[in-house]
A = this chain, B = another copy of it.
């Protein structure tokens, strides 16, 4: 069970640190959104863009294996 008698100051410090970090995180999230908006304005398809970026995060080996198995299943299901 979490303690019930605790230092206020400690709690405050923790909360403030978290709030500060979340603020910064939000700022970055906004920046990212902005860049996607810019991309869209330039005619790029945002959905595809996201997919490509996600794909780049995977190492090539993983991507290869995934693709292979995907095709295998898709084929078995008659998704030509």
Q: Once the chains bind, are B38 and A14 in contact (CB under 8 Å)?
A: yes
Chain B positions within 8 Å of A14 at CB level: 35, 38-39, 42, 44, 49
Q: Once the chains bind, are B56 and A2 in contact (CB under 8 Å)?
A: no
Q: Once the chains bind, are B77 and A44 in contact (CB under 8 Å)?
A: no
- Chain A count of residues within 8 A CB distance of the other chain: 46
Q: Once the chains bind, are A72 and B4 in contact (CB under 8 Å)?
A: yes
Chain B positions within 8 Å of A43 at CB level: 2-3, 6
Measured in the bound complex, the distance between the Cα atoms of B11 and A36 in whole Å is: 11
Chain B positions within 8 Å of A8 at CB level: 76-77
Q: Would you give 10 A-B contacts (Cβ < 8 Å), ordered by A?
A: A6-B76, A11-B77, A12-B77, A14-B39, A15-B56, A19-B56, A21-B32, A25-B32, A49-B73, A55-B74
